[in-house]
Structure 1
Amino acid sequence: MNTFQLACFLAVSETLNFARAAQRMNITQPAVTHQIRSLEEELNTKLFRRTTRSVELTEAGRLFLHDANGMMTIAMRAKKRFEDPATGEICELSVGCHGYTHLFSLHEPLRQLAQSYPNLHPRLQVVPYDFLYRILEEEHVDVILSFQENAAKKVPGIYVELEKTPMVCVTTRPQALEGEGPLSLEQLRGQRLVLGDPRKAPRSLAQTQAQLLGERAPGELFFGESPEAVITLVKAGFGLALMPRLLAPPDPELVLRPLAGVEPLSFGMYYKTLKGNPVLRRFVELMRLQYAEMQ
């Protein structure tokens, strides 16, 4: 396996077209095809599903995509380091999460961290929920941001809580339910729902959504792949949504009503160890300070 093979794989992954990938790489299409086939032979798996009209990643290809990006980043960083050794040792910190919303809390801790480590090079990775704990276990990242998993799920890391966030009902002003204060689940039973993917949701949120499904007709349910997609459908008037308040953006068009009888969710960080990693230790301290000031 070499970086040229990885570059070809990434080009095809991004374009989903061998001809356009060849143009981007400034090589012939047969050369791209050859590199992909040799990579598939080495990995002993198919990375792409190809027909006469389309190209798409296989499940194995989606799994390998993260690895390929990581290997290319490391290779380019190593090359750059030796091209200009006078710049000093690069200080790396890799943070993983499964939603872009989680990234919005990082800018101030990273700014302060860079004051202590001028050669800091943060790497922020947004990956599918199913891969989040895998990249921590395989040490592709130093720390991940996530809601706390229940005790039944084995997570390869130490958990540090940053905040308790309540579950809220998110509606638009025209849709807003009558009254004020917390809502009971019973009050929501006649409403159309916008649901997130239960496989990507904290366990308590998935259980709460399940309680509301009942005998609902399919036409009363709408689905969003991400919190951002769910909010978009709510603002478009398709229904109301349940989500942790942490994920609900500040928006004058939205009304957030707390849910009665639903425990707040714990949001925080998982990491494997702080030993021998002063940069991560300081980052954890800064994140805890920031969330403490927000409460």
Structure 2
Amino acid sequence: MELRHLRYFVAVAEELHFGRAASRLFIVQPSLSQQIRQMEEELGFPLLKRTKRSVELTDAGRVFFVSAQNILAQVQEAKRAALRAYRGEVGRLVVGYISSSTYDLLPAMLRAYRERFPHVEVALRELTTPTQVKALEENELQIGLMRLPISTPLVNVEVVRREPIVCVLPEEHPLAARKRIAMPMLAHEPFVLQSRQHGGGYYVQLMKLCLSAGFSPNVVQEVTETHTIVGLVAAGIGISLVPQSIRNIRSEGIVYRELEGTATMTEIALAWRRDAQHSAIVQNFLTVARETIMRM
């Protein structure tokens, strides 16, 4: 028995007339009569009482009619639900992000996405860039918002922000009186930085920046997240080099100063698995994120 047989029977049961039911189904009446007869033979009992002038449901037919309607309704609901999932309108999206993206990028993207796709459950994971890369490779994340550079063949990236690296230092520091600071002036300063494990490619970028200025930084304290750096600098532990967006962290006792010369830029990017090109839920988020960036 197929779904079409149920549709045929329901049409006859609703119309109680083979001719009208056949017209409604766009098939010829003899074919419809034959299909119903075959279904009754398969079931082993009659569903309809037929005379030359009328068609009536048997007791078994009335029970079967209700069940057939329910089955067809469930099939339609399943089809609608599957279509919504296919379009990325329902489901679950796991998004990883670095802390510095929460100042404006991530909130703007999430607000726009939730307005357009309110029935998608969004699970957020605050993770360092290396941890996000690993989670994407292992299919534990669908979207990452991370700081470049990264290196993995399984992940696509798209830059959403480029910003200069600036120096953060205690406000009473002698260099705080300067509008801009030359990198060699930091050669003998104590540094507070993310560890190589947590900073990933950004840590390597900072090391290269220092080495190009003729020194290796004296790291006195390593941290996991960039926002922790600000508090430790305010406490007088040392100075640091941070993305300009960190200025959004308001903290007493610190100042931010640009570096002399050509600005060294750092980039934040969206990341997703290369094999997610056919995932509507991922592609929808990327579309909304791109539109959000265009408006910022």
Q: Quick one: structure 1 residues 276 and 241, their matched pair in 2 at CA, closer, same or farther if it must change by over 3 Å?
A: same
Matching residue of 2:238: 239
Q: Quick one: structure 1 residues 288 and 241, their matched pair in 2 at CA, closer, same or farther if it must change by over 3 Å?
A: same
- How many residues align? The count is 203
Matching residue of 2:109: 109
Residue 233 of structure 1 deviates from its aligned partner by 0.7
Matching residue of 1:287: 289
Q: Is the 8 A contact 1:162 1:292 kept in 2?
A: no
Q: Partner amino acid for 2:288? A: L
Matching residue of 1:269: 270
What is the DSSP-based 3-state SS (H/G/I as helix, E as strand, rest coil) of the residue aligned with 1:186? helix
What is the DSSP-based 3-state SS (H/G/I as helix, E as strand, rest coil) of the residue aligned with 1:194? strand
Deviations 1:232-276, CA, capped at 9 Å, x for gaps: 110111221111123443315332112234520121111124533
Q: Is the 8 A contact 2:163 2:243 kept in 1?
A: yes
The alignment status of 1:169 with 2:170, answered yes or no, reads no
Q: Is the 8 A contact 1:167 1:243 kept in 2?
A: yes
Alignment of 1:184-195 (within 5 A): 184-195=182-193
Residue 167 of structure 1 deviates from its aligned partner by 0.5
Deviations 1:89-143, CA, capped at 9 Å, x for gaps: 742211113x333344322322222222221210111235443212112222111
Q: Quick one: structure 1 residues 223 and 176, their matched pair in 2 at CA, closer, same or farther if it must change by over 3 Å?
A: farther
Q: Is the 8 A contact 1:169 1:258 kept in 2?
A: yes
Looking at structure 2, the residues matched to 255 and 226 of structure 1 have their Cα atoms a distance apart, in angstroms, of: 19
Matching residue of 1:182: 180
Looking at structure 2, the residues matched to 126 and 191 of structure 1 have their Cα atoms a distance apart, in angstroms, of: 30
Q: Is the 8 A contact 1:196 1:225 kept in 2?
A: yes
Looking at structure 1, the residues matched to 128 and 177 of structure 2 have their Cα atoms a distance apart, in angstroms, of: 38
Quote the sequence identity (%): 17
Matching residue of 2:194: 196
TM-score, structure 1 normalization: 0.59
Matching residue of 1:29: none
Looking at structure 2, the residues matched to 155 and 176 of structure 1 have their Cα atoms a distance apart, in angstroms, of: 45
- Unaligned 5+ segments in structure 1 are 1-84
Q: Is the 8 A contact 1:176 1:255 kept in 2?
A: no
What is the DSSP-based 3-state SS (H/G/I as helix, E as strand, rest coil) of the residue aligned with 1:113? helix
Looking at structure 2, the residues matched to 214 and 224 of structure 1 have their Cα atoms a distance apart, in angstroms, of: 21
Looking at structure 2, the residues matched to 193 and 211 of structure 1 have their Cα atoms a distance apart, in angstroms, of: 17
Looking at structure 2, the residues matched to 196 and 135 of structure 1 have their Cα atoms a distance apart, in angstroms, of: 20
Q: Quick one: structure 1 residues 124 and 275, their matched pair in 2 at CA, closer, same or farther if it must change by over 3 Å?
A: same
Looking at structure 1, the residues matched to 134 and 142 of structure 2 have their Cα atoms a distance apart, in angstroms, of: 12
Residue 210 of structure 1 deviates from its aligned partner by 5.5
Q: Partner amino acid for 1:172? A: P
What is the DSSP-based 3-state SS (H/G/I as helix, E as strand, rest coil) of the residue aligned with 1:231? helix
* The structure with more radius of gyration: 2
- Unaligned 5+ segments in structure 2 are 1-80
Residue 178 of structure 1 deviates from its aligned partner by 4.8
Deviations 1:47-78, CA, capped at 9 Å, x for gaps: xxxxxxxxxxxxxxxxxxxxxxxxxxxxxxxx
Looking at structure 2, the residues matched to 248 and 154 of structure 1 have their Cα atoms a distance apart, in angstroms, of: 30
Looking at structure 2, the residues matched to 290 and 247 of structure 1 have their Cα atoms a distance apart, in angstroms, of: 20
Q: Partner amino acid for 2:281? A: V
Q: Quick one: structure 1 residues 209 and 222, their matched pair in 2 at CA, closer, same or farther if it must change by over 3 Å?
A: farther
Alignment of 1:62-141 (within 5 A): 90-97=90-97, 99-104=98-103, 105-141=105-141
Q: Partner amino acid for 1:269? A: L
What is the DSSP-based 3-state SS (H/G/I as helix, E as strand, rest coil) of the residue aligned with 1:109? helix
Runs of 4+ in structure 1 off by over 4 angstroms are 209-216
Q: Partner amino acid for 1:207? A: K
Alignment of 1:216-255 (within 5 A): 221-251=220-250, 253=252, 254-255=254-255
Residue 158 of structure 1 deviates from its aligned partner by 1.2
Q: How much is the aligned-residue C-alpha RMSD, in angstroms?
A: 3.0
Looking at structure 2, the residues matched to 225 and 250 of structure 1 have their Cα atoms a distance apart, in angstroms, of: 16
